């Protein structure tokens, strides 16, 4: 069985979408991978044929053990590459995910081993993700909560990394991993500001009050202090 870049991308997307709490169906993969519906149909047929996914009668897609092994191996490589780009080369945090997406398919097993020896596999990535994918429930279990739910001050520990415009938007506001934030609550009264028609979340960042898109504030996880 030949494992192509396309197959790897589909398997990783299934694992990531599941971790984000989504029920994975064909439409989910179309959105996550930005491909056409016919492309998803063809890809899932090949993955079923190769024993890498299971498609239930209701269309729900899950990884088989073999499919999960491939996805986890790719996720591990992605994690190591992100850390290399940040810790060795100092690349801007909001650019790193896209760069690692391109590199993860190309590195050899020998280079992966060298990265593991140099960096160690246990540290978080530049966006705050641990080595293993986490669900929202697992983040809450270790004391984190979305910025939109924060009451008072906190430290940013995780930012959803698979959305470059989101990362650039947050960086422009000064909201970055390991940075301090203070949620002042939703804007109210005559001075209430909105972002894309929704009431903004007022957040104190670097000594300045910022209006944050509430959808973006759901994608930032903080540890209250």
- Count Cα neighbours of 203 within 13 Å in the Cβ-side half-sphere: 31
Token reading at 157: 């520990």
Domains observed in the chain: 5-63 (1.10.10.10), 68-119 (1.10.60.10), 137-224 (2.30.30.90)
Instruction: Tell me what pLDDT residue 199 has.
Output: 73
Cβ neighbour number for residue 113 with a 10 Å cutoff: 11
Which conformational region is residue 59 in: left (phi greater than 0), alpha (psi within -120 to 50 degrees), or beta? Answer: left
Note the pLDDT tens digit of each residue in 147-179: 999 999 999 999 999 999 999 999 999 999 999
Residue 194 has pLDDT above 90, yes or no: no
Residue 198 has pLDDT above 80, yes or no: no
Please tell me the chain's helix, strand, coil percentages from 3-state DSSP, rounded to the nearest 5.
45, 20, 35
Instruction: Tell me what pLDDT residue 120 has.
Output: 76
Residue 40 has pLDDT above 60, yes or no: yes
Note the pLDDT tens digit of each residue in 43-94: 999 999 999 999 999 999 999 999 999 999 999 999 999 999 999 999 999 9
Name the average pLDDT for the chain. 91
* Burial state string for 148-157 with b = 16 or more CB within 10 A and e = fewer than 16: bbbeeebebb
Q: Which of 113-127, 141-155, 205-219 has the lowest mean pLDDT?
A: 113-127
Section 131-153 average pLDDT: 93
C-alpha to C-alpha distance for 157 and 55, rounded to whole angstroms: 35
Whole-model pTM: value is: 0.88
Sign of torsion over alpha carbons 191, 197, 199, 204: negative
Instruction: Tell me what pLDDT residue 190 has.
Output: 40
Instruction: Tell me what pLDDT residue 122 has.
Output: 73
Query: CB burial class (10 A; 0-12, 13-18, 19+) of residue 225?
Result: exposed
Note the pLDDT tens digit of each residue in 86-123: 999 999 999 999 999 999 999 999 999 999 999 876 78
Instruction: Tell me what pLDDT residue 164 has.
Output: 94
C-alpha to C-alpha distance for 93 and 34, rounded to whole angstroms: 23
């Amino acid at each position: 069985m030949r494992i192509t870049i396309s197959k790897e991308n589909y398997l990783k997307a299934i694992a990531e979408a599941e971790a984000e709490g989504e029920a994975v169906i064909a439409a989910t993969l179309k959105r996550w991978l930005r491909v056409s519906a016919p492309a998803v149909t063809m890809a899932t047929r090949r993955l079923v044929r190769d024993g890498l996914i299971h498609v239930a009668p209701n269309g729900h897609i899950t990884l088989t053990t073999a499919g999960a092994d491939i996805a986890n191996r790719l996720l591990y490589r992605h994690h190591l590459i992100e850390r290399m780009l940040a810790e060795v080369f100092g690349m801007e945090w909001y650019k790193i995910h896209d760069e690692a997406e391109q590199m993860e398919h190309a590195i050899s097993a020998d280079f992966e081993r060298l990265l593991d020896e140099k960096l160690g596999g246990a540290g978080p990535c530049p966006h705050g993700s641990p080595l293993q994918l986490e669900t929202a429930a697992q983040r809450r279990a270790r004391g984190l909560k979305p910025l939109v739910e924060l009451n008072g001050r906190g430290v940013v520990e995780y930012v959803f990394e698979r959305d470059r415009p989101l990362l650039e938007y947050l960086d422009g506001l000064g909201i970055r991993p390991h940075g301090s934030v203070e949620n002042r609550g939703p804007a109210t009264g005559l001075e209430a500001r909105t972002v894309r028609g929704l009431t903004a979340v007022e957040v104190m960042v670097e000594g300045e009050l910022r209006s944050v898109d509430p959808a973006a504030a759901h994608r930032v996880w903080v540890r209250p202090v």
